Amino acid sequence: MSDSAGLIAHNWAFAIFLLGVVGLCAFMLGLSSLLGSKAWGRSKNEPFESGMLPTGSARLRLSAKFYLVAMLFVIFDIEALFLFAWSVSVRESGWTGFVEALVFIAILLAGLVYLWRVGALDWAPVGRRKRQAKLKQ
């Protein structure tokens, strides 16, 4: 079989796959709209959480510290992922890979030290920190 015939056969298989995916999605959406309930009621628009009635507003304001902790978790979780991948291939990467891993850790450590120095990791309000500083004197 020539290269062009193989390419056409490959593209036809991919086109059939795409048509199958689009057809399956259309089938599921159409079936759910036909069989789904059309009834409207007051409780239909309320959030449902494991059979518990909602209390309070869903528009809860959180401190930016929570988002900071979430971002730090993601950053250091990705660091752990990269270091795990590096540790699996440490023998193949040799000294070059070791130095690159050290540079990677140093950059993340510098970022953590920077966040610590600017006070991004301090959860205590400024007033409490001042009181604690006075007590230490």
Residue 129's pLDDT is what? 65
Residue 59 within any structural domain of the chain: no
Residue 51 within any structural domain of the chain: no
Residue 56 within any structural domain of the chain: no
Number of domains in the chain: 2
Residue 26's pLDDT is what? 97
What's the Cα-to-Cα distance from 11 to each of 2, 5, 15, 18, 110, rounded to whole Å? Answer: 14, 10, 6, 10, 49
Distance CA 98, CA 91 (A): 10
* Structure-model confidence comparison of residues 108 and 135, the more confident one: 108
Task: Please indicate, yes or no, whether residues 70 and 28 belong to a single structural domain of this protein.
Answer: no
Which domain CATH number covers 120?
A: 1.20.58.1610
Residue-number span of the structural domain to which 116 is assigned: 64-130
State pLDDT tens for residues 45-76: 776 777 777 677 767 777 777 777 787 888 88
State pLDDT tens for residues 67-122: 777 878 888 888 888 888 888 888 888 899 899 989 988 988 888 888 788 777 77
